[in-house]
Structure 1
């Protein structure tokens, strides 16, 4: 029988998967921003798509735990789960900012190319 004062092995596994998927998303975001620095917007968008897939996986795991608790199946407080939620929230913010940066830089590069064409 499971001790209700302990964070279950399944909860630890799911929590670690939240952290790992969010971390993978951060890696793809970083690659996307590197692509932007090299004006490679197609690759940047592809890396952002991969980042989004990882964030969706992490979010689904988090949502599952929250829904279980809402259904009356309380989960024991865990610093690890709190860390996972914080990590997911932070990387989700990074994802949103990176998406905006990609749009800004792509627009700026298009405008600069237009300016160069006008000068010719």
Structure 2
């Protein structure tokens, strides 16, 4: 895999993860506002999940050629961003039922 291709994949992963993180921030804002219908945040969670699936597909393109890839700080950053965003998604999904039971 060329460095240019690895950088393209890394940037795509960062973009997808960033889009997911933006939606997760909106979900938190929705949850803080009791007037927001619950369907609004569910649609955003669904879109978030798809962004993360797509980011993983990009990551898999690299891991499929791992023997032909040199270390890249950008790719490591992209992987870190993806994992952090997945953690945020996990925590929010666990907190939603807790918050809904308080109302």
Using structure 1 for the length normalisation, give the TM-score. 0.78
Cα deviation for residue 97 of structure 1 reads 0.4
Cα deviation for residue 75 of structure 1 reads 0.3
Q: 2: distance between equivalents of 1:60 and 1:107? A: 35
Cα deviation for residue 63 of structure 1 reads 1.6
Paired residue total: 101
Gaps of 5+ in 2: none
Gaps of 5+ in 1: 110-120
Cα deviation for residue 42 of structure 1 reads 1.4
Structure 2 residue 88 is the aligned partner of structure 1 residue 94: yes
- Pick the structure with greater CA Rg: 1
Relative contact order (C-alpha < 8 Å, sep 6+): which is higher?
A: 2
Task: Choose which of 18, 21, 28 in structure 1 pairs with 2:23.
Answer: 28
RMSD of the alignment, in Å? 1.4
